[in-house]
Chain A
């Protein structure tokens, strides 16, 4: 089965704390792509990052970093020194086979000032 699990439904942190959003995926395919999207209150999902299944190199972009581990089928997302503007719903997504992308249920992040 192809599946994305985001076990954390909601996370609440205080500004400047670090926070990690977990993502576990299942797929039978050997070639696949993983994504993270952010959905702010306005509703429009915004692309954050893409990784392919052959590239396990971790990535850092400003305060954002991603840890991809094929051995545990995980693609976790860390925000360092969180800010109020980071408050949103974050979705992990998996693209496999054809052109369909499946999304996890999302993690709602609240960052309090």
Chain B
């Protein structure tokens, strides 16, 4: 069990640029989540995948945000035309569950800290 891996750890970009983050979940985990965390706040849900299917998206996820999990393994989160308000820690979490179970514990990565200048 190597844990959830996120790359890069830090990203500094200029406003208007596109950025992409990657998350590698624990290998057998079928669910993958993206959260955003700003300073002094708890993680806010962005989106969720069951295998390769994106099943839920938060209203926080504007049209500039897109997430994929093409083969049901790793996931990418892309932000287009970044804005200063996008600066935050982007956390990925994964879990292993069966059926429609909703009580599973989440395993989190260390996050990608995005700074938009």
Contact = CB atoms under 8 A, between A and B. Distances in A.
A99 B31 contact: yes
Contacts of B48: 99-100
A98 B89 CA distance: 24
B25 interface: no
A47 B110 contact: no
**Count class of interface residues, chain A:** 20 to 34
A72 interface: no
A101 B45 contact: yes
Interface of A: 4, 9, 33, 35, 37, 42-47, 50, 52, 91, 93, 95, 97-106
Contacts of A52: 103
A50 B42 contact: no
B105 A105 contact: no
Contacts of B4: 44
A34 B89 CA distance: 23
Contact of A105 (B42, B45, B58): B42
A90 B70 CA distance: 33
A50 B103 contact: yes
Contacts of A99: 31, 33, 48, 50, 55-56, 102
A100 B44 CA distance: 9
Nearest to B46: A100
Given A45-B91, A106-B41, A106-B42, A101 B110 contact: no
A7 to B, nearest CB: 13
